[in-house]
Amino acid sequence: MAAKHKKSPPAHPLTRSQQAWLIASAPLTVAPGIAYVPGWLAASVGIALLWRAVLWWRHAAAPPRWLLNALALAGCVGVFLSFRHFFGKDPGVALLILFLWLKLLEMRQARDGLVVVFLSYFLLFTHFMEAQGLGLAGFTVLALVVVTAALSSLAQTRQSVAARLRLSALMLAQAAPFMLILFLLFPRVQGPLWGMPRDAYSGMSGLSDVMEPGSISNLSLSGAVAFRVRFEGDIPPRHSLYWRGPVLRQFDGRAWRAGFQRPIRRPQDPQEMTLTDSVRYTVTLEPHNRHWLFALEMPLTAPADAIISNDYQVLSKQPIRSRIRYDMQSRLNALPQTGAAPAPRTDLALRPGNNPRTRALLENWRRELNTGADAGANADEAIVHRMLDYFRRESFFYTLTPPLLDGRHSVDQFLFETRRGFCEHYASAFVFAMRTAGIPARVVTGYQGGERNPVDGYLIVRQSDAHAWAEVWLAERGWVRVDPTAAVAPSRIEAGIASALAEGEPLPFMIGADLDWLRAMYFRWDAVTNGWNQWVLGYDTLRQRETLSRLGMRQPNWKSMTTAMAVLCGLLLLGLTFWALHKRARLTPVLRAWNRLSRRLKRAGLARQDWEGPADYAIRVTQARPELARPMADIASLYIGLRYGKLDGQKPLDELRRLIAGLKIARQR
Amino acid sequence: MSDSLMDQTVRQAARVVLGKERQIRLALACLLARGHLLIEDLPGVGKTILAHVLAKSLGLDFHRIQCTADMLPADILGVSIYDRERSTFQFHPGPIFAQLVLVDEINRATPRTQSALLEAMEEHQVTCEGETHLLPRPFFVIATQNPSHQIGTFPLPESQLDRFLMRIEIGYPDPEAERALLGGADRRELVADLGPCMTPENLIELQRSLQNVHVSDALIAYVQALVEHTRRAPDFKTGLSPRAGLALLRAARAWALIDHRDLVLPEDIQAVLPAVAGHRLHPANSAPGAQTAADIATALIGAVPIP
Amino acid sequence: MQAVSAFKRWLFRLHGPEAAPIVLGQRRVYVLPTRAGLAYAVSLGVMLIGAINYNLSLGYALVFLLAGLGLVTIFHTFRNLARIEISPGRVEPVFAGETAHFDIQLRNPGKQARHALRLHFVDGETVSTDLPPDAVTLVPLPLPARERGWLRPGRLTLETRYPLCLIRAWSYVEPDMRGLVYPRPETAPPPLPLSASGDSGGSRSGAGNEDFSGLRAHRPADSPHHVAWKAVAREQPLLVKQFTGANTAQVWLDWDALPAALGVEAGLSRLTRWLLDAHAEGLAYGLKLPGKTLPPDHSPRQFEDCLEALALHGR
């Protein structure tokens, strides 16, 4: 009904300033995407924007339609050739960018401008699929201010650039409380509504299920955070912080692999549950696109959607594709493995014929021990100790840059020739040696140690903390952790990699830095990032409920959340209504006092007419209420002096206020 | 001192012109503000008497010009007559050379004569044959005009009306005043008996003291709002000129002075508004209702809130 | 149809012309999303689904921020229109067929400037304007004047989409205004009926005292003021200056003298044309209409009075 008179759609040709706004806002919306869209598209955006800017500068007309159509077609073909399909995130973003610059080239009417702005908003949204860091968030806010200013330019106003940006910033600031409320209270749905396109995850780094010489030392050069841990209570001593990751059993002479067997759920031992000396902690794990979750040895409970396998790996049912948070409980001391099943044969398997010198050494030890007093189980333990002693005694070095090991006899080469290596070398050689001695053994990879951020108390575990160690199966004791690296470089375990390496070894930037202030800044920054991750990015169903109950909501379910959301938004709207309707009185104190007089006398039916002068008013009031003659005369003379005469200052004003306040207006009989 | 002089003048004039104290005050205010007065009313309501009384009371010399259709500018301003004996032009001043000039029925004079008169009023001087002759000081013109549209008259054009600071109507006396008038002595005799209440010097001093009447910013804002309104509102054909705004302020100052105040109130503006703005505003034909000067002024006052 | 218009009058509180100033109180300002606003809402919906699907916390945040922006803009748009005071301004008379301009006075009492306000009468063009803070702005609104007589503009629509084009706030007011529309002057009329006006037509001489026309010999009764003293100074005899009166030609524009075959409107058109011609030539003219007679005169006032009489004849 109202639409009948609406002159819409507004057929206003875009003015030059509107075009300028739209052209200027485009680079900001496209910029974050340049890094991940195909190169040709990024180049085309640059060229198109430049072209558009030149057209604007020269007051030239938009390119002809056939050219634009051809460009659109070529662009679509390009997107298809790049992605082979049109569905999913990446081709979607590419198409959005394509449409944006085509629309920018083509725009003529205000309506085209609206399309450009909406595309811009959408594009800003899509960048979050790629990254959600603080930096991008800040950049997006900036871009939003500019895009919103561009939108406001479409409203046909004549405002300066600064005024427009101010308005845009003001409106976004006013919108922020709504964002906060909705963000807190909008019921979060966990997980995708439908299957994620395959390409949603790429480029995640971390431990893999293959360990070969160099794979962990490469990782050690990365300062990237693997996960962060918050302990309930104190952080346990550093030497007990073994974060268990993939367990590797198969050795091909060079690389250790997890093998293909399906993980078997370890039967829950009721006795374990009664242990009181366990630590509780929460891990926030960066995505690595694998199944395993890291936990301190030995994990007792598995989070939901995960199991503890019979080799004590904590395995998620879904690969970890986004940052997740899970609660864990572990026992730092070895578990009582009563009735432990004998180790499977795979943990003894070796390829025959390799590394003869190692075999010879171990067989020699075995013989010596078997002839000795403590045979059997104790002999196994003695062999373990001998091996560790061997590492300690001989001149082994712990280094990130070991010489290359080649050939079939890499273990021999390492143990007898180079004797320089990183944790994977020691773990690999150790497990191999144990197996040749007939002791079931396996490689465990994961992380060791971590660094406490003094700012927020989180323990930061980086990729550089990646580590490999060994486990041997001893009768009566079951699986026992043995860390050969500790034998060679005890400080690696006690103080971290930086202190264990010799001077001059390459190290990840932050790890080796001695600059305290830089470190302090790093910690602060990491605390901010972590807070961001925990509270903004990690704000999921669970965290939402937890937060809301901490905020005092008794039973946070979608009903109560929606109610609270509606109530709070309503309050905000009410506040905005007041803001919109609020009359800003810009009156001088004298006029305020004078108006107060009129308001007071209004009850007696003697409100001042707005055209009535003060003397006339006083006379009228006096005629109606003779008892007010004196005060009214005083009031009028003061007011006249203050407003129309040369009377000035606080004293007469106070007197005027006092007289007006003290006026006794009797009710009309 | 000066206050009492003004009061005496008003009182004395009010004894002769009965029941018209407001008009007397307006006329006096007009004089103090160095403006000229146009009285528009029917014959016989006392226009001439009012002028006479004012002249007498203020001690001004007084001339009266009765306008006719065959009158030439020279008849009012004066003429340079050739003196054959001395072979020189001798300027013979016209009746306009007086401190108070009553121009009766100005609308009977031709537009040519009218404009010559009004120019002299504006300039306070007469130029004849290249010679300039200053008019006396104080100089005050009271012109009268019959409101009715009669054949053979030349109503003052709107541009010329602006030369008069005020236009007032006298109107019939109220019953009480009328009875006193009928029962009293002959007005002309009364006028003849009047003595001056002040000297022209007193008057000039009073005119100067107008400067000292304080006008606050708030009041200026009010005048501005009034003037602004007339320029926009649909009730008027043309709004008040800046000159009219100044005239309003000047007249209000004089009104405040007569009221013994050293500051101007919105009430002063409202009091002089009909007289000052009435002849400068013309109701638009699209505006329904109000037509007379008083109606216009009342509507104007009511439409503009005092800021 | 009638029911709809009655409903509309009720909904939008339209009760005929209103007294000035008309204040746009909060109850009179209506707010609805524009088409762009609906499109905006739909895109937000799509983004929200994306945020849920990809579990994007910042995606949620962006959607919620933009949703907040959408809500906030309602108030900005509302505030841009509310509390404006509307008073009628001047309307200069026009001839039928021309465009009348209705001056609207818009007072912005607030501290904030108002932007991109659009005003139009029901069948008038739209005019866009900004209002500086605490000031009165005059906006002339064009309206085609089709017929002679009083032109009432009717309902005035004020609307704004400021600041983001997503929301439209509008209000209807009916200022008490009217403009005078004179009859359309005939384009090819017969000549001015000077001869038809009888006795006084065409006379352009006669004594007066407006324009100097010459000198004549002095007679004893002549006033000394009229003597040409400058001539005397040149040793000439006494001469008296002679003047002629102004143009005193008169013309009567008489309704009854028009051919009866001419209809009312055509007749008025012709009289209007003649009136314009007579005024342009500086003639004194009188107008005789059934029930109304204006004696000859040539003042501007006469011109307006005659045109008004023609415009309102029979209305």
Q: If we measure between CA atoms, which residue out of C144, B115, C37 comes closest to residue A9?
A: C37
In a domain, A600, yes or no: yes
pLDDT for the residue B256? 92
pLDDT for the residue C248? 56
Tell me which of B186, B208, B230 is where a domain ends: B208
Q: Do B6 and B258 meet the contact criterion of CB atoms below 8 Å apart?
A: yes
- Confidence class for position A192, pLDDT limits 50, 70, 90: low
Give yes or no: residues B55 and B169 share one domain: yes
Chain C residues near residue A89 by CB distance under 8 angstroms: 54
Residue written as tokens 């709070």?
Answer: A568
Structure tokens at A378: 């104790």
pTM: 0.73
pLDDT for the residue A9? 43
- Confidence class for position A337, pLDDT limits 50, 70, 90: low
The catalytic site residues of A sit at 423, 467, 483
Chain A interface disruption, residue of C69, C71, C83, most A CBs within 10 A:
C69
Question: Is the pLDDT assigned to residue B37 strictly greater than 60?
Answer: yes
Question: Is the pLDDT assigned to residue C232 strictly greater than 80?
Answer: no
Q: CB–CB of C115 and A159 under 8 A?
A: yes
The predicted-structure confidence for B255-267, as pLDDT tens digits, reads as follows: 999 888 889 999 9
Q: Which secondary structure element, helix H or strand E, spans residue A307, and what is its range? A: strand A306-308
Name the minimum distance, in Å, from the CA of B81 to any CA of chain C. 6
Q: Do B147 and B161 meet the contact criterion of CB atoms below 8 Å apart?
A: no
Residue of C nearest to B233 (CA): C89
Name the minimum distance, in Å, from the CA of B112 to any CA of chain C. 7
Question: Is the pLDDT assigned to residue C51 strictly greater than 50?
Answer: yes
In a domain, A604, yes or no: yes
Q: CB–CB of A178 and C72 under 8 A?
A: yes
The predicted-structure confidence for B237-291, as pLDDT tens digits, reads as follows: 788 889 899 999 999 999 999 888 889 999 999 999 989 988 888 777 655 554 6
How many distinct structural domains can be found in chain B?
Answer: 2
Question: Is the pLDDT assigned to residue C8 strictly greater than 80?
Answer: no
The predicted-structure confidence for A354-367, as pLDDT tens digits, reads as follows: 888 888 888 888 88
Name the minimum distance, in Å, from the CA of B82 to any CA of chain C. 6
The predicted-structure confidence for A220-273, as pLDDT tens digits, reads as follows: 777 788 899 999 888 888 888 999 988 888 888 778 888 766 667 776 666 666
pLDDT for the residue A189? 74
Q: CB–CB of B110 and C209 under 8 A?
A: yes
* Nearest by CB: A611 against B216, B263, B301: B301
Question: Is the pLDDT assigned to residue C133 strictly greater than 80?
Answer: yes
Name the minimum distance, in Å, from the CA of A643 to any CA of chain C. 21
pLDDT for the residue C200? 42
Residue of A nearest to C156 (CA): A5
In a domain, A505, yes or no: no
The predicted-structure confidence for A477-496, as pLDDT tens digits, reads as follows: 788 888 998 888 888 877 77
Give yes or no: residues B106 and B218 share one domain: no
CATH value at residue B18:
3.40.50.300
Residues in chain B: 307
pLDDT for the residue C63? 95
Selected residue with higher pLDDT from A12 and C228: A12
Q: CB–CB of C57 and A537 under 8 A?
A: yes
Name the minimum distance, in Å, from the CA of C252 to any CA of chain B. 17
The predicted-structure confidence for A29-69, as pLDDT tens digits, reads as follows: 988 888 888 888 888 888 888 988 898 888 888 888 888 88
Give yes or no: residues B261 and B173 share one domain: no
Question: Is the pLDDT assigned to residue C242 strictly greater than 70?
Answer: no
Q: CB–CB of A167 and C53 under 8 A?
A: no
In a domain, A113, yes or no: yes
pLDDT for the residue A515? 67
Kindly state the average pLDDT of the residues A417-433: 88
- Percent of chain A clearing pLDDT 90 (strictly above): 9
Torsion of CA A240, A241, A247, A251, to 10 degrees: -70
Amino acid letter, residue B274: P
Give yes or no: residues B164 and B101 share one domain: yes
In a domain, A86, yes or no: yes
pLDDT for the residue C266? 87
pLDDT for the residue C226? 65
pLDDT for the residue C222? 64
Tell me which of A154, A175, A201 is where a domain ends: A154
> Hey, which chains touch C, using 3+ CB pairs under 8 Å?
A, B
Chain A residues near residue C66 by CB distance under 8 angstroms: 121, 175
Question: Is the pLDDT assigned to residue A200 strictly greater than 50?
Answer: no
Tell me which of A154, A175, A194 is where a domain ends: A154
What stretches of C133-263 show up as alpha helix (H) in DSSP?
A: 229-233
Structure tokens at A296: 């301190």
Sign of the dihedral through C-alpha C44, C49, C52, C58: negative
pLDDT for the residue C48? 92
In a domain, A136, yes or no: yes
pLDDT for the residue A343? 64
Tell me which of B174, B208, B242 is where a domain ends: B208
Residue of C nearest to B228 (CA): C136
Structural domains of chain C, with CATH: 2-180 (2.60.40.10), 194-311 (no CATH)
Beta-carbon pairs below 8 A across chains A and C: 169
Give yes or no: residues B65 and B97 share one domain: yes
Cα(B264)–Cα(B215) distance, integer angstroms: 6
Residue of C nearest to B79 (CA): C225
Ranking B151-160, B187-196, C172-181 by mean pLDDT, the lowest is B151-160
Q: What's the burial of A265, exposed, middle or buried (CB within 10 Å: 0-12/13-18/19+)?
A: exposed
pLDDT for the residue C45? 94
> Does residue B228 sit at the A interface (CB-CB below 8 Å)?
no
Q: Do C250 and C201 meet the contact criterion of CB atoms below 8 Å apart?
A: yes
pLDDT for the residue C42? 94
Kindly state the average pLDDT of the residues A520-549: 82
- Confidence class for position A3, pLDDT limits 50, 70, 90: very low
Kindly state the average pLDDT of the residues C178-186: 88
Residues 599-658 of A with CB under 8 A from C: none
Chain C residues near residue B116 by CB distance under 8 angstroms: none
Kindly state the average pLDDT of the residues A431-441: 88
- Confidence class for position A199, pLDDT limits 50, 70, 90: very low
Selected residue with higher pLDDT from A573 and C257: A573
* Nearest by CB: A613 against B214, B262, B306: B306
> Hey, which chains touch A, using 3+ CB pairs under 8 Å?
B, C
pLDDT for the residue B291? 65
Chain C interface disruption, residue of A182, A190, A529, A561, most C CBs within 10 A:
A182
Ranking A295-299, A393-397, B81-85, B210-214 by mean pLDDT, the lowest is B81-85
Over chain B, what is the mean pLDDT? 84
Chain B residues near residue C87 by CB distance under 8 angstroms: 232-233
Q: CB–CB of C165 and A178 under 8 A?
A: no
Selected residue with higher pLDDT from B159 and B108: B108
Chain C residues near residue A177 by CB distance under 8 angstroms: 68
Ranking A73-87, A393-407, A491-505, C22-36 by mean pLDDT, the lowest is A491-505
> Does residue B195 sit at the A interface (CB-CB below 8 Å)?
no
- Confidence class for position A121, pLDDT limits 50, 70, 90: very high
> Does residue B144 sit at the A interface (CB-CB below 8 Å)?
no
The CA-atom distances, in angstroms, between A245 and each of A69, A315, A393, C72, C227 are: 54, 9, 30, 50, 131
Tell me which of A154, A179, A196 is where a domain ends: A154
Chain B residues near residue C224 by CB distance under 8 angstroms: 79, 81
Question: Is the pLDDT assigned to residue A7 strictly greater than 80?
Answer: no
Amino acid letter, residue B253: R
Q: CB–CB of A194 and C53 under 8 A?
A: yes
Tell me which of B188, B208, B228 is where a domain ends: B208
Helix C57-81 to helix A161-185 angle (10° resolution) is 130
- Confidence class for position B52, pLDDT limits 50, 70, 90: confident
Beta-carbon pairs below 8 A across chains A and B: 39
Q: CB–CB of C103 and B232 under 8 A?
A: yes
Cα(A226)–Cα(A243) distance, integer angstroms: 11
- In 3-state terms, what secondary structure has residue C208? strand
Q: Where are the beta strands (DSSP E) in B67-124?
A: 78-83, 88-93, 100-104
Domain that holds residue A60: 16-154
> Does residue B81 sit at the A interface (CB-CB below 8 Å)?
no
Q: If we measure between CA atoms, which residue out of B235, B286, B291 comes closest to residue C180?
A: B286
Cα C37–Cα C39–Cα C44 angle in degrees, nearest 5: 95
> Does residue C292 sit at the B interface (CB-CB below 8 Å)?
no
Give yes or no: residues B201 and B250 share one domain: no
Instruction: Please name the residues in contact with C76: beta carbons below 8 A apart, sequence gap of 6 or more.
Output: A171, A580, C162, C163, C164
Torsion of CA A82, A84, A89, A92, to 10 degrees: 70
> Hey, which chains touch B, using 3+ CB pairs under 8 Å?
A, C
Kindly state the average pLDDT of the residues C132-150: 88
Give yes or no: residues B40 and B140 share one domain: yes
* Nearest by CB: C180 against B80, B84, B285: B285
Amino acid letter, residue B228: E
Q: CB–CB of B286 and C210 under 8 A?
A: no
How many distinct structural domains can be found in chain A?
Answer: 2
Name the minimum distance, in Å, from the CA of A553 to any CA of chain C. 22
Torsion of CA A7, A11, A17, A23, to 10 degrees: 120
Chain C residues near residue A9 by CB distance under 8 angstroms: 35
Kindly calculate the radius of gyration of chain C based on its CA atoms and give it in whole angstroms.
32
Give yes or no: residues B156 and B227 share one domain: no
Cα(B246)–Cα(B276) distance, integer angstroms: 10
* Nearest by CB: B110 against C89, C210, C299: C210
Selected residue with higher pLDDT from B143 and A272: B143
- Percent of chain B clearing pLDDT 90 (strictly above): 13
CATH value at residue B252:
1.10.8.80
* Pairing mode of beta strands C149-151, B100-104: unpaired
* Nearest by CB: B286 against C180, C208, C232: C180
Q: CB–CB of C209 and B70 under 8 A?
A: yes
Over chain A, what is the mean pLDDT? 82
- Confidence class for position B184, pLDDT limits 50, 70, 90: confident
Question: Is the pLDDT assigned to residue A436 strictly greater than 70?
Answer: yes
Cα(A569)–Cα(A591) distance, integer angstroms: 38
Give yes or no: residues B189 and B247 share one domain: no
In a domain, A262, yes or no: no
Name the minimum distance, in Å, from the CA of B300 to any CA of chain C. 13
Give yes or no: residues B57 and B202 share one domain: yes
In a domain, A229, yes or no: no
pLDDT for the residue A538? 77
Question: Is the pLDDT assigned to residue C1 strictly greater than 60?
Answer: no
Question: Is the pLDDT assigned to residue A4 strictly greater than 60?
Answer: no
Give yes or no: residues B188 and B109 share one domain: yes
- Percent of chain B clearing pLDDT 70 (strictly above): 95
Kindly state the average pLDDT of the residues C251-255: 83
Question: Is the pLDDT assigned to residue A198 strictly greater than 50?
Answer: no
Give ipTM to 2 decimals.
0.86
Name the minimum distance, in Å, from the CA of A137 to any CA of chain C. 7
Domain that holds residue B286: 213-307
